[in-house]
Structures are given as structure tokens and as C-alpha cells.
Structure 1
């Protein structure tokens, strides 16, 4: 719990090394702590349980599940065709997608100053959505941003999400939820990029129903993933 308070997340291998005990013992202890509501079990370890309105900063998110995010982004990149107009959401998983974009004749719309700068450096035609910048996630939000998104027609959109349960996509922030909702409504196809830690989670604000999007995530044996596969397209990496 001290490690989780400090780092927000911990892997099984780390605990096995620190505590010098078996994987089965660690798993059993983590299950007990989860039952007590002290943490949340995720693929390969555990993370600190967040409140419905809690949200990590981009800096904190960037160190979590980076290998899995990179694999998800690689598959997402394969969904993009030449001459597509795509939206790329602010966030750390979508940042990996920008790294994978090479020599594609595409136009990218983004609500992230950080993403826009990276895209321009790559020589990719970039349109940036304006509005109030949310400092913790580097996202342009607010009514101005929503109105700009509503003026666009997008071929594909790639967005992050804090929580995906059996029915809804959720995020902690009302303003970010409004942007994501507008993007889904104005895109022919929307892909949610989410590592396994987001599955089964529920945040404060409902963005949309899961059937409105395709979900690119890790292969994992969870009841939530099996339920999602009945309702929408799930691409496992």
C-alpha cells in the first residue's frame, strides 16, 4: 500500500522481489486487499483505487503500462488510411499513436497542444482545437472546443477513456466528456484506445454507450471483455 500511495501502480514481479515470496501468495494477498476496497487488481499487478472524480496527470499516466499502450497504438495506426481526416484525443495512449504515424497523407485534428507540436514536427497536416487548456491532461476543453468539433466531419477518431464497463464509457471530467461525446458524434468510426486497467472501471461522467465505438485493448480473460464483445467491436492486441 505504501508503494501504491507513492507510485499509483505496482507490478506482480516487483512485489515478488521486494517481499521475497511466491506469485500465488502475492495474488492471494492482492485479492484480499481488493475485497477490502484498498486497491484494484489489474492485468499484471494492482493500482490504487481512484475516486469517481479522481484523475492522474499526464505525467503520472505516462509511466503506467507503457509497453501495452505502445502495442495498442501500433494496431490503431493500422486503422488509418491515406487521405483520412482523423481526430487524436489528448492523452498518453494516443501520444504513442502519434509516434507511430510515419509518411501518411492524412490530416489530424487534435485538442492537445503537445500532440499538435509533435505532429507538426513530423510534417503532418494538423488542425488544433482551441478552448480552455486543462493543465493536468493538456486537453483543450469547454464550449468553444465542442463547437469547433461539431463543425467537422471526421473519417476516424482515436480517443482515450478512464473507465469502460459493460455499458458505458466514462471519464472523471464533465468538460472532457463533452469533447469526447462530440468527437464520437462527428466521426464515422471511433476507436477507444484502452489498456486492460481501464476495463471494468467506472468514472464520474458518462461519455457514451459502448456500442458507439470500437475498443482496442489487450488480450485478457475478464468478464467485462467478454460482455463488451457481445455489444461492440473489440480488437485485442
Structure 2
């Protein structure tokens, strides 16, 4: 019944399922957890939604309204690992956009002493407005994600080194980090390869999910995610360092 409801409506609230099934909230939560582990749906705050095709990628506008509170917690935590004088890379994306906002609002000299490299024109504009030294990676700009991709962007990133990198990801399973687009995957691979430390900012809804293209194995990064009771998180902790907020 849960799967039929999600197939019909694409997204359903916990409250609606409790009413539909005439059972307790705790029972519905357990059912949703089990179905998510079987990769039949995706848990979201207050309910669940249908899984998108593995090659599908929502626009930044669509992603920006999802799990905003959880994403902001990740951005605030990421801010605390940035040190004075760092050269950092901030990937295009909605969660990393919140990190850029937090960095721009940080009214201390630490932010002014940073060098930030980004492949997002919107990130770059925000940083420059605050007087933060910014290097923008050029290339073909993807309209739906605001990311510079392609051979020009790749060559520029491969020529640089970073103290820390902050990247988004569409899926984090117990083995790999994944994204829907092959060109963005190449960009993310280059960022990870050229950073001393890479932090993947992935809210709880990304855990246990997978997209079309494998970007990296878990042991190549530190995962920054929300506190979660999902069983998959315990598996992930066996493979890499995890910071929960």
C-alpha cells in the first residue's frame, strides 16, 4: 500500500500513511526504513518519496527547497574546519551554497585571508562581494546545476592544489559516492584527487542512495552528514571518517 501510494503521488507524508494504514507512527517509520533499505523509496523529512531514475538530476531550484534545515547544519559544521590562510575548493550545489553564505557572513579576518576556488558563478559572485579572494573555474556551465564542466574546467582544476575541498553528492551508499552526470563526476574526481582533505556534504536523504556515475570510494573523503538512525550509516562508518551534526 505504501509503494502504491508513492507510485501514485510521488511523495507522501508520514501523517497520511498513518491514516491510510490505520496503524501507529512507529510502525510506519519502521516500514519506511525497511523499504528504503530495499531501495524502493527514499525517506525525506516527514515522509517518503519515489526514487528518481539513476540518471535524473533535479535543478538547483528544486534541490534548494529540500531539507534546508539539515543542509544548513552541514554548512555551519563545514565552516568550523576551515583555517586561516587555507586554499579551499567549494563545489557547485545547493548545500555548498549555504557554506558560501555562511563564509560570506563570517565577519572576521579569517574569511578575508582565504583563497576560494569554485566552479559556480553564483558562489563566486557572493564571495567576491564580501572581498574574499576568489578564483573561478571556467568551462561549459550546466544550466540546471550552475556547475562549470567539460575539458576546460577539468584542466584548470587538475593544475591546482587545495588544502580542503567541499563537495556535494547525489548518492552515498556503503561503497561509493555517486552523481547522475558523467562530466560532473570527472570534475568531482579531479577535486578530490587534488585536495589534501575532501569533505562531502550530504544530508541524511542521500544516505543509501545511488546515482548513475561512481565518483569515488568512501575512503577517499570525510563524510559530513546529519545524525541518523539509518543502518546504512553504520556501514559507511566502517569505510570512512564520518562527522555527524
TM-score calculated relative to the size of structure 2 = 0.86
CA contact (8 A) 1:216 1:235 kept: yes
Distance 2:175 2:240 in 1: 10
Q: How many residues align?
A: 236
Give the deviation of 1:223 after TM superposition: 2.1
Matched, 1:173 2:175: no
Extract unaligned runs of 5+ from structure 1: none
Picking from 130, 136, 139, the partner of 1:131 is 139
2:149 alignment partner, one of 141, 163, 167 = 141
Q: Which runs of 4+ in 1 moved over 4 A?
A: 1-6, 8-11, 13-22, 28-38
Contact 2:6–2:50 (Cα < 8 Å) also in 1 = no
Between the aligned partners of 1:35 and 1:150, the Cα distance in structure 2 is 37
Gaps of 5+ in 2: none
Matched residues in 2 for 1:106 and 1:9: separation?
Answer: 41
Deviations 1:67-103 (A, max 9, x none): 0000010000001001101000000000110111123
Deviations for 1:154-213, whole angstroms, at most 9, x for unmatched residues?
000000000011111100000000000000000000000000111111111010111000
Give the TM-score normalised by structure 1. 0.89
Alpha-carbon distance in 1 for matches of 2:93, 2:139:
16
For the residue of structure 2 that corresponds to 1:109, the secondary structure is: strand
Among 52, 56, 59, the alignment partner of 1:57 is: 59
Aligned residue in 2 for 1:89: 91
CA distance in 2, matches of 1:230, 1:34: 20
Distance 1:17 1:115, change over 3 A: farther
Residues 172 and 206 in structure 2, CA contact (< 8 A), matched pair in contact too: yes
Q: Does structure 2 conserve the Cα–Cα contact (< 8 Å) formed by 1:5 and 1:48?
A: no
Q: Name the counterpart of 1:45.
A: 47
Corresponding residue SS for 2:243: strand
Q: Select 1:187's aligned residue among 195, 203, 225.
A: 195
Q: Which moved more, 1:40-49 or 1:89-98?
A: 40-49
Q: 1:227 aligns with which of 218, 227, 235?
A: 235
Residues 88, 37 of structure 1: CA spacing in aligned structure 2 closer, same or farther, 3 A cutoff? closer
| Coordinate RMSD, CA, aligned | 2.6
CA distance change for structure 1 residues 32 and 201 in 2, over 3 Å: closer, same or farther? closer
Rounded Cα–Cα distance in structure 1 between residues aligned with 2:90 and 2:16: 33
CA distance 1:117–1:9, shift in 2 (3 Å): farther
1:45 shift after superposition: 2.1
> Which deviates further from its counterpart, 104-113 or 34-43?
34-43
